[in-house]
Amino acid sequence: MAMALASFLLLLFLHFMAVQADGEDAAALLAFKAAAVGNGGGNGVLASWNGSAGPCSWGGVTCGRHRRVVALSLPGHDLSGTLSPAVGNLTWLRKLDLSYNWLHGGIPASLGQLHRLRELDLSFNTFSGEVPSNLTSCTSLEYLALGSNKLAGHIPSELGNTLTRLQVLGLDNNSFVGHWPASLANLTSLQYLSLRMNSLEGTIPPEFGSNMPSFHILDVCSNNLSGALPSSLYNLSSLTDFDAGNNKLNGNIPTDIDEKFPHLRSFAVFNNQFSGEIPSSFTNLTNLTSLQLSENRFSGFVPRDLGRLNALQNLQLGVNMLEAGDIKGWEFVESLTNCSKLETLVLSDNNFTGQFPISIVNLSTTLQTLYLGGSRISGSIPSDFGNLVGLRSLYLFSTDISGVIPESIGKLENLTTLYLNNNSLSGHVPSSVGNLTNLMKLFMQGNNLEGPIPANLGKLESLNVLDLSRNHFNGSIPKEILELPSISQYLNLSYNSLSGPLPSEVGSLTSLNELVLSGNQLSGQIPSSIKNCIVLTVLLLDSNSFQGTIPVFLGDIKGLRVLNLTMNKFSGVIPDALGSIHNLQELYLAYNNLSGPIPAVLQNLTSLSMLDLSFNDLQGEVPKEGIFKNLSYLSLAGNSELCGGISHLNLPPCSTHAVRKRSKGWLRSLKIALASIAVVLFLALVMVIIMLIRRRKPVHRKKGQSLTPVVEEQFERVSYQELSNGTKGFSQNSLIGKGGYGVVYKCTLFDEEIIVAVKVFNLEQSGSTRSFVAECEALRSVRHRCLLKIITCCSSINNQGQDFKALVFEFMPNGSLNGWLHPKSDMPIVDNTLSLTQRLDIAVDIVDALEYLHIHCQPPIVHCDLKPSNILLAEDMSARVGDFGISRILTESASKT
Ligand SMILES: *[C@@H]1O[C@H](CO)[C@@H](O)[C@H](O)[C@H]1NC(C)=O
Ligand SMILES: *[C@@H]1O[C@H](CO)[C@@H](O)[C@H](O)[C@H]1NC(C)=O
Ligand SMILES: *[C@@H]1O[C@H](CO)[C@@H](O)[C@H](O)[C@H]1NC(C)=O
Ligand SMILES: *[C@@H]1O[C@H](CO)[C@@H](O)[C@H](O)[C@H]1NC(C)=O
Ligand SMILES: *[C@@H]1O[C@H](CO)[C@@H](O)[C@H](O)[C@H]1NC(C)=O
Ligand SMILES: *[C@@H]1O[C@H](CO)[C@@H](O)[C@H](O)[C@H]1NC(C)=O
Ligand SMILES: *[C@@H]1O[C@H](CO)[C@@H](O)[C@H](O)[C@H]1NC(C)=O
Ligand SMILES: *[C@@H]1O[C@H](CO)[C@@H](O)[C@H](O)[C@H]1NC(C)=O
Ligand SMILES: *[C@@H]1O[C@H](CO)[C@@H](O)[C@H](O)[C@H]1NC(C)=O
């Protein structure tokens, strides 16, 4: 009876306790709900939490036998508020999982009251602040995941000495600073540690690993850790996954890595400073699937038996100093053909030489990514390269590989990315490339590819970048590739030998950002359809033979930032419409035949930071605002009739008075010029007639009078480097003029001793090589007081590896006759008008020169381009005839007629 009563009283008491506690847990949970829901956040589950039923029936809540809450688990419930400190009152809690929510604010210190808590997962929220040191009171914790938040400060060092049952510690992807706490070495039950993506610095503590028999996974990737791996680490004999990439760690990898970490599945130390050889004992680790050693200083040979790693999927050895050559070093590729699961192979940027390893074509068809670039490997791409049908990305660039692109490449139908740039590939692009319909990026620039651009590149409907620049492609631009609407990033066909017009289909490139066609022989007008390329930001058509006016509709391409039309044959005025391209930052119109005024609207373009209008025939007033305020970003050289502008331009003023006076002076000099030219032409005609009359009779000339070539005989050839030095790298400051086929620089040769004029031929301009040859031919057989003296020539390679041709002439300090007849400025440096005597002397000099060319030269030479700008004036104002670029040497038969 007494027993029964006692039992009854005990039950009653327990019931009372449970009800009390029930209420307490309910209060804490309701406080949690109120804070966690945030501004109307939270979904369905929390709506069921209310007073009518006990908390044990609430969603996400689990109670124990005593009806106390032991687990609160609400992962991924869109909770967007804060974590209430009331949770600290759920004292029976063993598991708290609030991962994958939007909770913010601090982690409450009251969690330290949860002495029974074994599992705390707050990962993937936006908690901030420091980890409260009170957490170290949760001494039952086995699983602590705080990764992917915004936590900062130091990792509490007490963690290691109190949470002795911890098996999993995830602190990754936060902003922790300072050192890796040495105390973590005391977590003897630890199996998993991730400190990935923080800002930890210093070394890995020397005790870490010595007493962790169950440890499997260590991820400290992307911190600032330095020093060598401590030897204690190699006691982690159960380690399967090691990632210490993206740090500043150094040292060697021990040769017996297979004995240290016998269970290794994945080993990553990419982007550190490790050195020494890659231990061949890696080949004993038969469970290894991933070995990432890229971006270190590993040297020596790649272990030859890597193929023993049957499970290998990912091998990355790029950017090291590994060796291989024709004699030894490439065996590992043959061996890798046994790895039937290989997906990624990165070998680029090493000290590999020798022939392309042919056995690559026998690698597993599971291979998806292959990097081979940045090494001096040579030979050619094997014809059955198309065996690697699984390839999605091929990076084979910057090598010495030559020969043709094999036809079989068309079999790689899963390719999305193909880099074949900067090799020595030659021949035609195989038409099978048109079968690579998944291709998004195609890079073939910087090879010796030739022939027409295959029209069936137009089948590559996923393509968004195409770069075929710097090859020898010829023919016209196939309209098919302009009809690929997917091309969005850029289309670069520059520096080839493409000719013909720009097809109007260019207007189909409505997503294209950058169009680069520089350095070809494209001609005709810019098609009006280009205004449909509405997202174009960069348009480079420079160094071609485009002609006509600069189209007004370019003004419709509002996003344009860079427009380069330099070195074409555009004429007419610069359209005001360019002033409506509000984003325009760089505008280059130099070396065309543009005339008329500079549009004043250009000074309103606030983004414009570079303007080059040099070497045109622009006239009239230079604006003073905007880009025209700063000479550093403005070039107007070689436009003889500009006036006004800011004073630093040193242009003559445009005031009406000055203009009238100037124009009178100009008119007068024009009259005199026309008169002189008329006299010259008349005399020339007379002489031609005399010559023709004399020709009828046999002319006897003394043998000794024939002149020997002067060029080779008198002077050594001068090197590109000497010319470059003498012109300060062909600087704008040394520029003194522009000829039809090139530019002329003032140059100081042989340690300041000689000042010369260097005419550099623009070899990208068609006909300029012909012009160079014509001038060389003409000048090698002539020498006369009134002809411009050639000093030497230079036919060489410039420091970009392109052909370079230049002629070196005596320097004419007084410039061209044109400059005197049409003075650029009223600056009082020299008296800028010629006296009558001077004019007569000049006319006589010209006639002397012509008489010599037509009568005394054998064979006779016709200049064909006699005009004031080709008459140069020496220091004493005596005249020299120059620029023989289009001269003709009359052959025997021609000269008789
Ligand atoms: C925890 O419970 C105690 C006692 O019921 C109460 O006084 C306190 O306010 C609660 N703490 C929080 C943070 O709600
Ligand atoms: C944090 O821990 C300290 C010392 O153990 C204790 O005094 C304090 O009350 C704790 N804070 C909370 C909010 O539990
Ligand atoms: C690890 O624990 C031992 C014993 O508690 C202690 O003496 C030692 O200082 C701890 N090591 C570190 C690095 O905290
Ligand atoms: C390799 O992996 C298999 C399967 O996971 C496992 O059974 C075996 O023990 C592993 N071998 C080593 C040496 O860890
Ligand atoms: C692989 O392991 C065996 C047995 O432990 C050993 O004899 C051999 O030297 C190892 N191979 C390499 C390349 O280290
Ligand atoms: C690359 O290899 C060549 C010849 O094998 C050697 O002379 C050179 O020093 C090596 N360079 C580096 C950086 O190891
Ligand atoms: C190409 O990719 C598709 C889709 O991912 C895949 O199913 C197919 O097996 C791949 N082809 C080859 C030859 O690997
Ligand atoms: C390209 O694809 C077509 C159609 O699938 C096929 O007939 C042709 O043989 C392929 N060409 C190459 C070179 O793979
Ligand atoms: C513009 O064209 C000229 C002539 O081809 C070239 O030298 C210059 O580098 C080009 N500038 C830009 C920004 O494209």
Give, using CA atoms, the residue closest to atom 7 of ligand 2.
134
Per-residue confidence (pLDDT) for residue 292, from 0 to 100: 98
Count other C-beta atoms under 10 Å from residue 792's C-beta.
20
Pocket flag, ligand 8, residue 432 (CB < 6 Å): yes
Atom of ligand 5 nearest to the CA of 259: 5
Per-residue confidence (pLDDT) for residue 50, from 0 to 100: 77
Which listed ligand is nearest to 411 at the C-alpha?
A: 8
pTM for this predicted structure: 0.73
Task: Write out pLDDT tens, residues 222-246.
Answer: 999 999 999 999 999 999 999 999 9
Which listed ligand is nearest to 286 at the C-alpha?
A: 4
Separation of CA 126 from chain center: 35
Q: Where are the domains of the chain?
A: 259-378, 720-824+831-893
Separation of CA 80 from chain center: 41
Cis, peptide link before residue 859, omega less than 30° from 0: yes
Residue from 469, 542, 633, 731 to probe ligand 9 pocket by mutation (most atoms less than 8 Å from CB): 542
Number of helices (H), then strands (E), belonging to the chain: the values are: 12, 57
Q: Among 743, 758, 769, which Cα is nearest to 521's?
A: 769
Pairwise CA distance, residues 858 & 783, whole Å: 12
Pocket flag, ligand 7, residue 455 (CB < 6 Å): no
| Phi (first) and psi of residue 596, to 5 degrees | 80, -170
Ranges under pLDDT 50 in the chain: 9-10, 12, 14, 16-17, 657-668, 690, 693-694, 696-715, 826-830, 892-897
CATH class for the domain made up of 259-378: alpha beta
Secondary structure element (H or E) that encloses residue 722, with its range:
helix 720-726
Per-residue confidence (pLDDT) for residue 590, from 0 to 100: 97
Pairwise CA distance, residues 169 & 154, whole Å: 15
Atom of ligand 6 nearest to the CA of 321: 14
Annotation marks residue 826 as catalytic: no
Q: Among 394, 431, 395, which Cα is nearest to 412's?
A: 394
Which listed ligand is nearest to 303 at the C-alpha?
A: 5
Equal fold, 259-378 vs 720-824+831-893 = no
Rg (CA), the chain: 40
Pairwise CA distance, residues 599 & 231, whole Å: 73
Give, using CA atoms, the residue closest to atom 3 of ligand 3.
186
Pairwise CA distance, residues 35 & 81, whole Å: 6
Which listed ligand is nearest to 590 at the C-alpha?
A: 9
DSSP bridge partners of 441: 417, 465
**Contact indicator for 126, 106 with CB cutoff of 8 Å:** no
DSSP bridge partners of 802: none
Three-state secondary structure of 751-767: CCCEEEEEEEECCCCCC
Pocket flag, ligand 9, residue 614 (CB < 6 Å): no
Per-residue confidence (pLDDT) for residue 255, from 0 to 100: 96
Separation of CA 49 from chain center: 57
Per-residue confidence (pLDDT) for residue 852, from 0 to 100: 74
Q: Among 538, 868, 554, 495, which Cα is nearest to 680's?
A: 868
**260 assigned ligand-binding residue:** no
Catalytic residue among 78, 556, 826, 865: 865
Pairwise CA distance, residues 566 & 544, whole Å: 8
Per-residue confidence (pLDDT) for residue 748, from 0 to 100: 81
Q: Give the CATH H-level superfamily of domain 720-824+831-893.
A: Transferase(Phosphotransferase) domain 1 (1.10.510.10)
> Over the chain, what is the mean pLDDT?
86
Ligand 1 centre and the CA of 771: distance in Å? 96
Residue 896 DSSP code:
H
| Phi (first) and psi of residue 554, to 5 degrees | -60, -25
Per-residue confidence (pLDDT) for residue 846, from 0 to 100: 83
Residue 856 DSSP code:
I
**Contact indicator for 545, 567 with CB cutoff of 8 Å:** no
Residue from 414, 428, 429, 435 to probe ligand 8 pocket by mutation (most atoms less than 8 Å from CB): 435
Q: Which residue has the tokens 């081979």?
A: 372
Looking at residue 449, its amino acid is L
Give, using CA atoms, the residue closest to atom 9 of ligand 4.
263
Secondary structure element (H or E) that encloses residue 668, with its range:
helix 656-696
Residues in the ligand 4 pocket, defined by CB under 6 Å = 262-263, 287
Q: How far is CA 819 from CA 321, 409, 637, 832, 835, in A?
A: 60, 60, 13, 9, 15
Secondary structure element (H or E) that encloses residue 796, with its range:
strand 790-797
Looking at residue 866, its amino acid is L
Ligand 6 centre and the CA of 298: distance in Å? 13
Pocket flag, ligand 3, residue 162 (CB < 6 Å): no
Separation of CA 357 from chain center: 29
Pocket flag, ligand 7, residue 386 (CB < 6 Å): no
Per-residue confidence (pLDDT) for residue 700, from 0 to 100: 40
C-alpha dihedral, 766 to 768 to 769 to 774, nearest 10°: 130
Give the 3-state secondary structure of residue 494: coil
Angle at 328 between CA 326 and CA 330, to 5 degrees: 80
Pocket flag, ligand 8, residue 592 (CB < 6 Å): no
The tokens for 216 are 């499997």
Separation of CA 406 from chain center: 28
Atom of ligand 2 nearest to the CA of 109: 13
Task: Write out pLDDT tens, residues 51-65.
Answer: 677 889 899 999 998
Pocket flag, ligand 8, residue 653 (CB < 6 Å): no
Per-residue confidence (pLDDT) for residue 688, from 0 to 100: 57
Pocket flag, ligand 1, residue 85 (CB < 6 Å): yes
Residue from 183, 187, 188 to probe ligand 3 pocket by mutation (most atoms less than 8 Å from CB): 183
Ligand 8 centre and the CA of 481: distance in Å? 19
Q: Among 154, 206, 156, which Cα is nearest to 185's?
A: 206
Pairwise CA distance, residues 103 & 126, whole Å: 6
Task: Write out pLDDT tens, residues 541-560.
Answer: 999 999 999 999 999 999 99
Give the 3-state secondary structure of residue 539: strand
Q: Among 452, 414, 461, which Cα is nearest to 434's?
A: 461
Residue from 114, 131, 134 to probe ligand 2 pocket by mutation (most atoms less than 8 Å from CB): 134
Atom of ligand 9 nearest to the CA of 519: 5
